[in-house]
């Protein structure tokens, strides 16, 4: 391959790019390290639906527009591809479910083996574990009156939840003051991918990438060992709790009969430990941030918990009650609209095709080309979301306000057959946690806090703290229903469960 060959060249087509391009390095000097999403949102502002950023010989093409994103989500014409930052993760998680290319047999095998772990009846089986895990977080908070570090505690919670539900493994997150070393090792692995994909296009980048690998080798060895331990212990114990790990170890694909080998099992364990908690932790943290900033929306959320759970602050929603927190669900959806915690995914056409036909961004796209859909930009496109697109307004997801909205413009869980396998798990967990937390506590954020984003492929709020004050029957508004009357916006007599 020629030294000067442009990667992801789009047959030489040129798209709008940020000002200040330089010879050779192109847009490289416009990028700040460690914040790829912030870079793209800053540099792409005003560049229109399709724009490019070039770092030496690597061209990145970004989609910021709802209509074009919807076009690229058409599964009959497009499929998932891996942008460099995700492809770099393959060193650690290989062809695990998230990082596999569509055509790789292990994707098909693992998908078939693991789908039963994400059905509605499987969710019913996880409910009790989720409840107990929240209980432990409350116990850790005890009678504390000082502020909590929201992202750190939501990360403890979601890591424990996925590790207990999927691997029947207790990470001890609530009993140790330090975060589990797995979290540090995982962040190191995610950062490695991000850093390496950032430096690889620059001259001498391969050498720097090797140094990044060396610096993270111990973390990665630790993660591999932890994953292998999980499988070894399970096989040795003879116990079969019927969890996701059992499926990985014992099941074969229902149609092909193929099984996963030990290397792939290790990669799937790491995939689920990472994908199964970071994003949900961020989603919970952003939702709590917005609730703390919108007292009226918060008050309605607490009215809803009072209506469904009654006056007892320790009341626990049943499995069937969780989908009935309709207002809370809209708050979560809206937080994921503004800050989708897996903020981008890449698409390529199945065959050479023309995109954005009839617009000034019409372009030819071949199967070798990929474009990155930048969700926080797509989710704020005024043509889809109206003039208040930048504002937090959960009511935009009310059925009457959603009618007539462009289709395929809300994609926090990705799209098509490669969309998030854990979506129902994440939603059930997040609503359960929010309902219990807001029913039990009044929350107050620091009014001087300005939202900052920590980027590690996924995004979470940085430095966001909340003060929690236990709610008592007296602190509830007079006239709050005794129990289970259902949220105010549901017409009487309609089925409360989302079908
Ligand atoms: C709010 C929480 C979550 C969000 C926002 C989220 C988002 C996403 C997105 C956008 C994708 C598609 C990525 C792409 O096209 O490249 C994805 C895939 C995936 N997610 Fe999630 N996710 C969440 C929670 C979870 C949970 C709880 C699990 C596991 C229990 C999980 C496991 C996965 C896996 C394994 C994939 C790859 C699926 C495949 O390609 O077959 N995610 N997720």
| 118 occurs within a structural domain | yes
Same domain assignment for residues 247 and 146: yes
Q: How far apart are CA 415 and CA 405, in angstroms?
A: 18
Closest of 434, 459, 489 to residue 151, by C-alpha: 459
Catalytic residue among 279, 280, 287, 341: 279
The domain boundary residue, chosen from 395, 427, 458: 395
Tell me, yes or no, whether 132 and 230 share the same domain: yes
Same domain for 130 and 273? yes
Domain membership flag for residue 63: yes
Does ligand 1 lie within 6 Å of residue 180's CB atom? no
Given this model, what pLDDT does residue 474 score? 65
Q: Atom 7 of ligand 1 has which residue's CA nearest to it?
A: 413
* CA 431/CA 402 separation, integer angstroms: 21
Which whole number is the average pLDDT over 34-43? 93
Catalytic, 73? Answer no
Distance 185 CA to ligand 1 centre (A): 20
Structural Rg of the chain based on CA atoms: 23
Ligand 1 atom at minimum distance from 419 CA:
12
Residue 415 lies in a domain: yes
Concerning whether 279 is annotated as a catalytic residue, the answer is yes
Q: Are residues 42 and 69 in the same domain?
A: yes
Same domain, 335 and 362: no
Three-state DSSP at 330 gives: helix
Cβ of 385 closer than 6 Å to ligand 1, yes or no, is no
Q: Does residue 451 lie in a domain region?
A: yes
Q: Of 436, 470, 460, 471, nearest to 150 (Cα)?
A: 460
Residue 404 in domain: no
Q: Express each pLDDT in 239-254 by its tens digit.
A: 999 999 999 999 999 9
The DSSP symbol for 412 reads T
* 71-110 exposure pattern, b = at least 16 Cβ within 10 A, e = fewer: bbbeeebbbbbbbbbbbbbbebbbbbbbbbeeeeebbbbb
96 CA to middle of ligand 1, Å? Answer: 12
pLDDT band, very low/low/confident/very high, at 437 (cuts 50, 70, 90) = very high
Instruction: Say yes or no: CB of residue 443 within 6 Å of ligand 1.
Output: no
Token representation of residue 304: 């809803």
The 3-state DSSP class for residue 295 equals helix
> Do both 270 and 189 map to the same domain?
yes
Query: Chain-centre distance of CA 66, in angstroms?
Result: 19
User: What's the CA-to-centroid distance between 297 and ligand 1, angstroms?
Assistant: 28
Residue 8: partners with Cβ closer than 8 Å, 6 or more residues away: 58, 59, 60, 61, 368, 369, 370
Number of CB atoms found within 10 A of residue 298's CB:
19
Structure-model confidence comparison of residues 210 and 260, the more confident one? 260
pLDDT tens for residues 288-304?
A: 999 999 999 999 999 99
CATH number at residue 40: 3.30.43.20
Report the interhelical angle of 326-338 vs 423-440 (nearest 10°).
Answer: 110
What pLDDT was estimated at residue 431?
98
Asked whether the predicted pLDDT for residue 4 surpasses 90, the reply is no
Separation between Cα atoms, residue 155 and residue 481, nearest integer Å: 33
User: Looking at the structure, do residues 272 and 368 belong to the same domain, yes or no?
Assistant: no
- Residues with Cβ within 8 Å of residue 177, at least 6 apart in sequence: none
- What is the tens place of the pLDDT at every residue in 62-88? 999 999 999 999 999 999 999 998 998
Do both 279 and 423 map to the same domain?
Answer: yes
* DSSP one-letter code for 89: T
Q: Are residues 142 and 190 in the same domain?
A: yes
Is 325 in the same domain as 350? Answer: no
Domain that holds residue 350: 10-81+342-395
Structure tokens at 12: 């030489």
pTM for the complete prediction?
Answer: 0.93
What is the Cα–Cα distance from 183 to 367, expressed in whole angstroms? 36
101 within domain boundaries: no
Assess whether 356 and 386 both reside in one domain.
Answer: yes
What is the mean pLDDT of the segment spanning 279-288? 98
Does any ligand 1 atom lie closer than 6 A to the CB of residue 342? yes
Average pLDDT of the chain to the nearest whole number: 91
Flag whether 166 is in a domain. Answer: yes
What are 78's strand-pairing partners? 349
Residue 98 placed within a domain: no
Q: Are 171 and 153 in contact (CB under 8 A)?
A: no
- 326 with 347, same domain: the answer is no
Of 271, 372, 422, 430, the one to substitute when testing ligand 1's pocket (max ligand atoms within 8 A of C-beta) is: 422
How far, in Å, is the centroid of ligand 1 from the Cα of 413? 6
422 CA → ligand 1 middle, Å: 6
Can 420 be counted among the known catalytic residues?
yes
- Residue range 206-216, pLDDT digits in tens: 888 888 888 88
154 contacts 283 by C-beta, under 8 angstroms:
no
Give the DSSP letter string of 387-455: TTTTS--GGGGSHHHHTTPPTT---TT--GGGS-TTHHHHHHHHHHHHHHHHHHEEEEE-TT----EEE
| Domain count of the fold of the chain | 2
Report the CATH number at residue 275.
1.10.630.10
């Amino acid at each position: 391959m020629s030294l000067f060959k442009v990667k992801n060249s789009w047959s030489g087509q040129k798209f709008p790019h940020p000002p200040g391009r330089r010879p050779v390095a192109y847009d490289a000097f416009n990028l700040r390290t460690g914040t790829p999403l912030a870079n793209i949102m800053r540099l792409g502002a005003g560049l229109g639906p399709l724009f490019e950023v070039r770092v030496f010989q690597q061209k990145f093409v970004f989609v910021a527009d709802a209509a074009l994103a919807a076009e690229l989500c058409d599964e009959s014409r497009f499929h998932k591809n891996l942008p460099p930052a995700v492809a770099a993760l393959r060193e650690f998680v290989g062809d695990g479910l998230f990082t596999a290319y569509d055509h790789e047999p292990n994707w098909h095998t693992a998908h078939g083996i693991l789908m039963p772990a994400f059905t509605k009846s499987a969710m019913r089986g996880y409910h009790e574990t989720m409840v107990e895990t929240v209980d432990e977080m409350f116990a850790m908070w005890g009678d504390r009156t000082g502020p909590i570090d929201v992202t750190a505690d939501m990360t403890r919670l979601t890591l424990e939840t996925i590790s207990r539900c999927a691997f029947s493994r207790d990470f001890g997150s609530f009993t140790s003051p330090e975060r589990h070393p797995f979290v540090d090792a995982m962040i190191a692995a995610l950062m490695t991918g991000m850093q390496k994909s950032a430096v690889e296009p620059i001259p001498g980048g391969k050498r720097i990438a090797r140094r990044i690998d060396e610096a993270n080798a111990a973390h990665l060895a630790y993660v591999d060992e932890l994953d292998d331990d999980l499988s070894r212990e399970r096989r040795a114990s003879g116990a079969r709790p019927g969890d996701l790990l059992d499926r990985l170890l014992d099941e074969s694909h229902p149609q092909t009969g193929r099984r996963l080998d030990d290397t792939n099992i290790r990669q799937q364990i790491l995939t689920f430990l990472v994908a199964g908690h970071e994003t949900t932790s961020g989603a919970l943290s952003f939702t709590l941030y917005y609730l703390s900033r919108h007292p009226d929306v918060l008050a309605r959320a607490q009215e809803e918990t009072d209506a469904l759970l009654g006056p007892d602050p320790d009341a626990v929603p049943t499995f069937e009650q969780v989908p009935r927190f309709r207002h809370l669900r809209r708050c979560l959806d809206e937080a994921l609209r503004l800050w989708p915690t897996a903020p981008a995914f890449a698409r390529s056409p199945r065959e050479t095709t023309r995109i954005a036909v009839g617009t000034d961004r019409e372009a030819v796209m071949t199967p070798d080309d990929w474009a990155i859909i930048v969700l926080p930009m797509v989710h704020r496109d005024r043509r889809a979301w109206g003039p208040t697109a930048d504002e937090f307004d959960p009511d935009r997801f009310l059925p009457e306000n959603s009618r007539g909205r462009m289709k395929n413009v809300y994609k926090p869980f990705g799209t098509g057959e490669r969309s998030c396998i854990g979506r129902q798990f994440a939603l059930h967990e997040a609503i359960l946690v929010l309902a219990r937390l807001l029913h039990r506590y009044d929350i107050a954020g620091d009014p001087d806090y300005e939202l900052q984003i920590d980027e590690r492929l996924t995004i979470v709020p940085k430095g966001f703290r909340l003060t929690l004050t236990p709610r008592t029957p007296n602190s509830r508004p007079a006239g709050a229903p005794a129990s289970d009357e259902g949220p105010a916006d549901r017409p009487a007599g309609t089925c409360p469960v989302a079908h």
